[in-house]
Structure 1
Amino acid sequence: MAENKNPAETLAVIVQENQKTNPKEEDQATGGEKAVLFQMKHLMLLLTILSFVLSLPVLFSIIWLSYMRQCDCEDLLRLPRLQVAIVVGLVVVFLVSNLVVYLRARFPVPGLLLVMVPLILMLTMGLGLVGAYKMESRTITGSPIWLKVKVDSENYWSNIKSCIYATRTCEDLESRSYTLKTHDFTRSKLSSIESGCCRPPSSCDMEYVNATFWRKEDKVVDDSTLNNANCDLWKNEETILCYNCDACKEGFLKTLQGKWWKLGTFLVVMALLLISSHLLLFVATMWERYGG
């Protein structure tokens, strides 16, 4: 009988020890879960703040585009309509992005799908404006190839050069540089339109009188280059100047492409950042709901 009591006593001791150690283990497990939950809440807060902060440049761009002065004569290509459409699209992106952030805990999956639609459209439009689609971008309004096709069209260019003359760009250049000598004028910084439309190509080697009046040298000009081929198109008449020169087209085109390329780059960068932040926020939300 004494031998039978020993196993029972041993079992009782083990049970008592387990009862003493289990609460400690439970406390440690509970503490670990609380730490993970605390870290997850901090991560969610950071991602929420990040998504909101990334939407602020979109808001600022809406204000900037709404009050930004149009490039001279770009309304002939109906580009202001594109600018208005982009403003409306950015308003949608800003509102949807912040709405999804606010409702992400209730509707994580529908919210992600909802915000991805305008962001993907924003990314696609931005890639089109920077010319990422190459030949396909010919049909995308505002893309580099689309702008070049329009400017090279004689029908459009006839109206554009009349518009450039009406803006008095060259007259303003003449009044600003009236007292400048040759070396001062050559060092002055001109806009692309002023350089291409208001003065002859530099390869023509004409003598400077003033900004819009140049005297031709009595020497043979090599017509093998594009600029030299335009030397005969220059006239010292304020209604003609170099408006028919290819340099004038290139200057106007450079001005437009610079503006829309910058806008396209902004759209691409912001779309990628917002897509990344919303994907991270979605993953963190699902982990908090099902993984924790």
Structure 2
Amino acid sequence: MFRLSNNLIGVLNLLTFLLSVPVLGGGVWLATRGGGSGTECERFLTVPLIVLGAFLMLVSLAGLVGACCRASLLLWLYLVAMFLLILLLFAFTLFAFLVTNKGAGEAVSNRGFKEYRLGDYSHWLQKRVDNSKNWAKIRSCLQDSKICERLQQGNETFDQFIRDNLSPIQSGCCKPPTECDFTYVSPTVWTVNSTTLTSTNNTDCSAWNNDPSTLCYGCQSCKAGVLANIKKDWKKVAIINIVVLVFLIMVYSVGCCAFRNIRRDNAYGYGGWKGRYP
């Protein structure tokens, strides 16, 4: 009879394999949808989905076959992959806490939202969003999400608007910085103050445009708003990763027990050297 650890590894990897199917299928669907003419954002998300789905599928198959068929080599490869995954997840979790340690929105008097400055965040994050190729992909995602268009749907007065609790991306990308002192028309339409443009050092004021496809997507405040959102999300992901790490370590321990059991079974029950030489 199979030992409990073998059965448990088999069940866990069967569930992982079933999970990998929609992940890989989603990546392939994004890559092939519309004859490959998807947006830059979709192409940006495609590769990680396909890689993650393929990795989960291969690792789960190795663990499943290794545990159920007593294939010690496959189970050994599975354990090596699991060990590397645990190391990578631990390194990413530590890295996420370090790079998101700096940066916070700046409260503005009589405003329900905060202003965001790129220089307040870690240099590593600043370099990532300042890279033109990276920002082109992020900007495509922001435009695809229609986050500023949803803000535009509200028919608000200026007093109502400044009391809104805008998200970091809405505050940084969908309106000009408060420092520009532009005249409010609607949440995404502002009359430019030419005096401010000549007197302020904030380059975001000149980067603002009422065109819905432009707005403040080229502003430093927009990049800072994205980083504020990333910081919040990475903090959540890091906490989830800690839970996942504990789970993976438990699965890895069970896998080690299954590997040991298979080697014993092969040695004593299936013609191993110990079975032939008493």
Check whether TM > 0.5.
Answer: yes
Structure-2 residue corresponding to 1:87 = 53
- CA gap 1:132/1:161 in 2 versus in 1, 3 angstroms: closer
Structure-1 residue corresponding to 2:219 = 245
Deviation at 1:164, TM superposition (A): 4.2
Partner residue of 2:174 out of 198, 210, 230: 198
Amino acid paired to 2:251: L
Residues 236-266 of structure 1: CA distance to partner in whole angstroms, max 9, x if unpaired?
Answer: 3334321121122234456667489849938
Structure-2 residue corresponding to 1:117 = 80
Residues 36-60 of structure 1: CA distance to partner in whole angstroms, max 9, x if unpaired?
Answer: xxxxx89x32x34432454325633
Structure-2 residue corresponding to 1:230 = 204
Contact preservation (8 Å) 1:147, 1:253: yes
Structure-1 residue corresponding to 2:258 = 281
The two structures have a TM-score, normalised by structure 2, of: 0.58
SS in 2 for 1:101: helix
Q: Distance in 2 between matches of 1:130 and 1:145?
A: 18
Structure-1 residue corresponding to 2:68 = 102
Indicate whether 1:51 and 2:9 are aligned: yes
Structure-1 residue corresponding to 2:116 = none
User: How many pairs does the alignment contain?
Assistant: 230
SS in 2 for 1:187: coil
Deviation at 1:197, TM superposition (A): 1.3
SS in 1 for 2:171: helix
- CA gap 1:149/1:219 in 2 versus in 1, 3 angstroms: closer
Q: Distance in 1 between matches of 2:263 and 2:136?
A: 59
Structure-2 residue corresponding to 1:60 = 19
Q: Distance in 1 between matches of 2:228 and 2:135?
A: 14
Contact preservation (8 Å) 2:59, 2:81: yes
RMSD over aligned CA atoms reads 4.8
Superposed counterparts of 1:126-137, under 5 Å: 126-127=89-90, 130=93, 132=95
Contiguous gaps of at least 5 residues in structure 2: 31-38, 100-121, 269-278
SS in 2 for 1:83: helix
Contact preservation (8 Å) 2:172, 2:223: yes
- CA gap 1:64/1:267 in 2 versus in 1, 3 angstroms: farther
Q: Distance in 2 between matches of 1:80 and 1:57?
A: 20
- CA gap 1:113/1:272 in 2 versus in 1, 3 angstroms: same
Deviation at 1:127, TM superposition (A): 4.8
Indicate whether 1:211 and 2:182 are aligned: no
- CA gap 1:184/1:196 in 2 versus in 1, 3 angstroms: closer
Structure-1 residue corresponding to 2:152 = 174
- For the pair shown, which has the larger CA radius of gyration, 1 or 2? 1
Deviation at 1:199, TM superposition (A): 1.7
